[in-house]
Amino acid sequence: MPSFTYNRQTPSIPLLDRFYGIFLFVCVAMLTVGVPFLFHRKAVSAVAILVTMVVVLLAWRMSRHGQPKKSLQYFSIVLWLMLVGLIYGGLPNTTAATAMAVAVMLAVVVSARAGVIFSVTYMLAWLLYVVLQTLNLAPTPYFPGAPLTGWFIGVVGIWLVLLPLPELVSNLHASSSLQRAVIEATTDGILVVSNAGKVETYNKRFVVMWGIPIAYVQSGDDSSLLGFAVQQLADPAQFLDKVRELYAHPGQSSLDTLRFKDGRVFERHSQPQRLGELIVGRVWSFRDVTERETAQAEIQRLAFHDTLTLLPNRRLLNDRLEQMIPACQRSGLHGALLFLDLDNFKPLNDAYGHSMGDLLLVEVAQRLLRAVRQIDTVARFGGDEFVVMLGNLDMDAQAAHHHARKVAEKIRHELAQPYHLTLPHTASADTQVCHHCTSSIGVAMFPTKQMTADDALKQADMAMYQAKDLGRNAVHFYENEVLEV
């Protein structure tokens, strides 16, 4: 058996093997039985059969070398010429079944269009023969009528017509089963809707994801599904706008995100369903990405926030400060950076451990947030150090300075209040501590000429150490800034 290269056309080769094999067998039967005992034009019939056998062998060889479609196209062209020649030679009826067989094979292996073209052109040639015969213009039949010959060719033709049908039915069942298995195996919810808005198919995952009553999908009405779906979404208008856009432009594909009222997040992908070049519907797939979105949000939070206090960390503080300073330079408004250090934090850690110290840091963070505006930034700089960024204070430098001092004193007073801390235990009584802790606060005003975020942090840090040198529990402004004010 000849070897061949496998490609996407290879599944057609076994069917063509049987087709060409039967055709070759029929040619041999005609040559050994038909020519000696049935056919009247024996020499011409023998030559025609031998030519047909050569054409069959060449087409079969082409098919086995990985070109089944092209082989059948070439074979059908040659056979069409021979069949039309037999019509005008006086055997129109005996060629019909064979022509039908070739048309069916073309439709199965090549395309439905190829099968239609073959059969229509054959029928037109026959019709022309009938017209010429009616007008007494048809050529004199070369092959005289022979009933047995007609029966023989007709039976073989019908056999060839029926040849691909069992495989077609089997392939349809296998394709349907495979399609259903793939649709049900996917973790995505799948919905297929026709251009008329009728539900063509769906999988169980789609029903479960959306919590849709089975009666809705079994009704086959796409509008009822839409009505049920939008009730669950945080932004129904966005959902419906995309649906309308895709239905207005059937050839488009899309990928977007749907957010539900209960916090779930779905990815929605849609693409047209095509039958050849014709768009017959739309395929919707939905993927639950809630866990992924939550994980990404958590990664983002961990990258820019302190895990203990949930405040912005040094990285996010630097980013905001780098944006705030140029913004203040453009607007003419002043801002202030407050650098805080807790004065009595280490003794609590030493006496009760880091868990108790963590409780204090969390409480400090909460007091800081309550002491400033929502537009201000409170960040944990590290250890027991915190930074507060006050933006958009005032265009007047002295007024901004006064506002910053007022906020700093408010913070110092709030942080100096007693801390009532409770450390829970599972095997023993909870540890309760009343701790007194003050803060030293350094303040740097911004912007000044050529100031950067690092400059502001260094100035506020220096002012904080000056506050500690002055006896702690104090607010101190960066000295150079005070002179400029």
So which residues are the catalytic ones? 384
265 within 8 A of 293, measured Cβ to Cβ? yes
DSSP 8-state secondary structure symbol assigned to residue 141 = P
Euclidean distance between CA atoms 62 and 366, whole angstroms: 81
As a whole number of angstroms, the distance between CA 214 and CA 204 comes to 10
Strand partners, 273: 281
Angle at 245 between CA 240 and CA 248, to 5 degrees: 125
- Separation of alpha carbons 485 and 482, rounded Å: 5
Determine how many CB atoms are found less than 10 A away from the CB of residue 32. 11
Cα dihedral across residues 107, 111, 114, 117: positive or negative: positive
**Beta bridge partners of residue 457, listed in sequence order:** none
CA distance 212 to 282: 19
Amino acid at 380: R
Instruction: Take residue 181 and report the two structure tokens written for it.
Output: 């298995």
Is the Cβ–Cβ distance between 374 and 389 less than 8 Å? no
74-79: which pairs have CB atoms within 8 A and are 24 or more residues apart? 75/102, 76/102, 76/105, 76/106, 76/114, 76/118, 79/52, 79/55
Task: Collapse the DSSP code of 356 into the 3-class scheme (helix H, G, I; strand E, B; otherwise coil) and give the result.
Answer: helix
Instruction: Tell me if the bond preceding 144 is cis, omega within 30° of 0.
Output: no
Q: Please give the radius of gyration of the chain, using alpha carbons only, rounded to the nearest integer.
A: 43
**Which letter does DSSP use for residue 30 in this model?**
I
**Angle between the N-to-C axes of helices 13-29 and 147-162, in degrees from 0 to 180, rounded to the nearest 10:** 170
Q: What are phi and psi of 389, to 5 degrees?
A: -110, 120
Burial 81-94 (b: 16+ CB within 10 A, else e): eebbebbbbbbbeb
Give the Cβ contact number of residue 404 at 10 Å. Answer: 24
- Please, what is the angle between helix 290-304 and helix 314-331, to 10°? 70
Q: How far apart are CA 421 and CA 329, in angstroms?
A: 43
What are the tokens at 389? 């960024």
